[in-house]
Amino acid sequence: MSQLAQLIPYLTPYEKPFYFIILGVLFIPSILLSLNGKRMMWYQNFLTIFFLWISFGGPNSKQGLALIAYMIWQTLLTAIYFKYRQKDNKSSVFYLAVLLNLLPMFIIKLSPFFGSQSILAFLGYSYLTFKSVQVVMEIRDGILKEFNIKYYIQFLIFFPTISSGPIDRYRRFLKDYLNPPDKEKYVELLQKGIHYIFLGLLYKFIIGYVLGSQLLPTVQGFALGGTAPVLGTIGYMYVYSFYLFFDFAGYSLFAVGTSYLLGYETPMNFNKPFISPNIKEFWNRWHITLSFWFRDYVYMRLMFTLLKKKVFKSRVVASNVGYFGLFLLMGLWHGLTWYYIVYGIYHALLICINDAWLRYKKKHKDKLPSNRWTHALAIFITFNAVCFSFLIFSGFLDTLIKQFILV
C-alpha cells in the first residue's frame, strides 16, 4: 500500500496533465454509478480526501494543516452564529461574525509586511473565505433556515473548485448535493464536462503556454531592453491580457468540467469577456462568480446602507461612491501593492464614466447613432480599456518605473 502511495505524486490541482490521468481513472466508478442515476457518497468522500491529500499532503503538509485549522475555525464560527441568529439579530454580532470570518485572510494578507509568510496560508483560502462569508450573510438575511455541518463542510472543501473557484453559492451547491441528476441529465452533464475539460486543456496547456512562456518573455525583452520600450510595453499589454484570460479560463473550465463529471453544475466563470460593448458587460462576463459575489454581498449592501441612512441625497453619487468602495476592496483583495489599488480605482472610474455616458445617451438617443459600427467601436474601446487595466494589474509598470525612472 505504501509502495502504491509512493507512485502517486503530490500535485497542485490541474497543474500538470498527469493530474487528469489520475482524475480520469478514479472517476470511472463515479461516472458508471451516475450513468445509472446514482451517487455513492462514500466514494465521493473518498475522492475528496484523495485529491485534497495529493494537493495538501507531502511537501504541502503545512498548507494541509492550515486548511484543517481554517475549516474548524469557520465551521465553529458559522455554527455558533447560526444558533445565535435563531434567537436574536443584532447588527454588532453580525459584523463581528463577518470580521471573524475574514480574520484568517487578513492575517495571511498582512503577514508579508511583517517579514514572514503566515502559517495559516493555503492554496485557495480566499475562495473559501468568500464562501464562508456568503453563508453568514445569508443566515443573517434569514435566507438560510437550516445549517448542517456536514453539508457546510462538503460545500467548502468541494475539491474541483477549491484552488481557484468558481465561487459557488451554498444553496445552489446544496441543491445538487441533495439531488443527484437522473440518467438522462447526467449524460448531458458528462458530455459538457468532458468538453469543458478538453477546452480547458486547449486554453491552459496550449494557448496559455504559448502566450505565457514564449510570447510574453519576448515582448517583455523589447520593453525592458531599451530598443523599443513603448512598442514592447504595448505588446506586453495585449499578450498579457490574452494570457491572463486563457490561463484563468482554462483553470475555471477544469473546475466546472470536473464538477459536471461528479453531477454538480458549478457555474461558469467566463463568457467571451473581450467582446463586451461596455465595462459593466465586461464584469458580467469576466470572473463572473467573483463579480457577482462582490455585487451581491458588498455593493448592493453598501448601496442599501447609503440610501437607507440618506448619506447621499443623489442616487448617482451614492452609486459612484459604491463603485469606488467596491473596486478598491477588490484591488486590495488581490494584494497590498500600489498597482492593485490603482487597478481597482481605474475600473471604478471606468464604470462611473460608463454610467454617465449611458445617462447622456438615454437623453440624446434621437441624436446619437446606434448600429453595428457603433457597437463594434464600443467593443474596441472597452477591449483596449480593459487591456490597459491588465497592464496595470500585471505589475509590469512597476518594473518599468524601477528600470527606467528609479535608476
Distance CA 331, CA 197 (A): 30
Nearest by Cα to 305 from 102, 78, 297, 86: 297
Percent of the chain's residues with pLDDT above 90: 79
Least confident span in 41-45, 273-277, 287-291, 367-371: 367-371
Does the annotation mark 334 as catalytic?
A: yes
Of the candidates 285, 265, 298, 287, the residue with the CA atom closest to the CA atom of residue 169: 265
The interaxial angle of helices 338-363 and 396-404, nearest 10 deg, is 120
Q: Distance between CA atoms of 235 and 239, rounded to whole angstroms?
A: 6
- How far is residue 274 CA from its own chain's centroid? 18
pLDDT value of position 37: 86
d(CA 20, CA 43): 18
- Residue 72 CA, chain-centre distance (Å), reads 23
4: pLDDT strictly greater than 60: no
Cell triple for 36: 445509472
pTM score, two decimals?
A: 0.92
Q: How far apart are CA 204 and CA 353, in angstroms?
A: 34
In the block, cell 505588446 appears at: 235
Q: Return all residues near 87 (Cβ < 8 A) that are at least 6 apart.
A: none
Residue burial 330-341, b: 16+ Cβ < 10 Å; e: rest: bbebeeeeebbb
User: What are the pLDDT digits (tens) for 135-178?
Assistant: 999 999 999 999 999 999 999 999 999 988 899 999 999 999 99
Kindly write down the DSSP assignment for every residue of 238-272, as one continuous string: HHHHHHHHHHHHHHHHHHHHHHHHTT--PPPS-S-
C-alpha cell at 360: 447622456
Q: Are 205 and 250 in contact (CB under 8 A)?
A: yes
Asked whether 294 and 170 are in contact (CB, 8 A), the reply is: no
Taking the C-alpha atoms of residue 70 and residue 101, their distance in angstroms, rounded to an integer, is 10
Q: What percent of the chain has pLDDT over 70?
A: 98
296 has pLDDT over 80: yes
Integer Cα distance of 13 and 54 in angstroms: 9
- From 190, 160, 183, 175, select the one nearest 256 (Cα to Cα): 160
Q: Average pLDDT of the chain? A: 93
Distance CA 74, CA 133 (A): 9
Separation CA 257–CA 200 (nearest Å): 9
Q: How far is CA 379 from CA 256, 260, 275, 282, 355, in A?
A: 27, 32, 6, 10, 16
C-alpha cell at 169: 453559492
> Does pLDDT of 2 surpass 70?
no
**In the structure, what pLDDT confidence band is assigned to residue 406 with cuts at 50, 70 and 90?**
low
Q: Which pLDDT value is given to residue 6?
A: 65
Asked if 239 contacts 215 with a C-beta cutoff of 8 angstroms, the reply is: yes
The rounded radius of gyration (Å) of the Cα atoms in the chain is: 23
Q: What is the pLDDT of residues 92-129, one digit of tens each?
A: 999 999 999 999 999 998 888 877 778 889 999 999 99
pLDDT given for residue 117 in this prediction: 79
For residue 97, report the phi and psi dihedrals to the nearest 5 degrees: -65, -40
**Residues 334, 347, 364, 375: which is the catalytic one?**
334
Region of 115 please: left (phi>0), alpha (psi -120 to 50) or beta: left
For every residue of 80-97, DSSP letters joined together read: HHHHHHTT---HHHHHHH
